[in-house]
Structure 1
């Protein structure tokens, strides 16, 4: 019997969103890089981040059951958004290097 056996139902429930969770962290790094490039006030970024994390926590708690049937669509849209934000964050650097 593994230590993680009691967490298996929880893991199975969120398995369709695993890719989105991983790439969401990459998206956070991209957005942080954009904030550094634009000279954002770190205290404003911290306050906005905390508010958004709390909001997403409530959405995650109450909206996960309804969203499970749309997990493939959500994952595609999230991946596409990460791709677009990555390109958007690299364009100023490319223009700067040219």
Structure 2
């Protein structure tokens, strides 16, 4: 059985695809996808790491305007309206191409 950590790592392995699908107002900037906030608004204060960087895994994000941070599982409720852990995990299974 996959854990939330396993699913977060799997989503992170496909971070750019996730961002293009769920945060389309953003843009790549080096090793990050930049977008306005957790709802996907235009702007650049939220950065999602696209590829592993040393001990920093792909899929981790931070909104420098609000201090919010997390992994791609944490973004799913904001961009989809998922209200429960089960809904988040179901959406994660759709978001991951494997």
Query: Common fold, TM-score beyond 0.5?
Result: no
Q: TM-score, normalised by structure 1?
A: 0.31
Q: Which has the higher contact order (CA 8 A, sep 6+)?
A: 1
Q: Identify, as 1 or 2, the structure richer in helix.
A: 1
Q: TM-score, normalised by structure 2?
A: 0.31
Between Structure 1 and Structure 2, whose CA radius of gyration is higher? 1
Q: Identify, as 1 or 2, the structure richer in strand.
A: 2
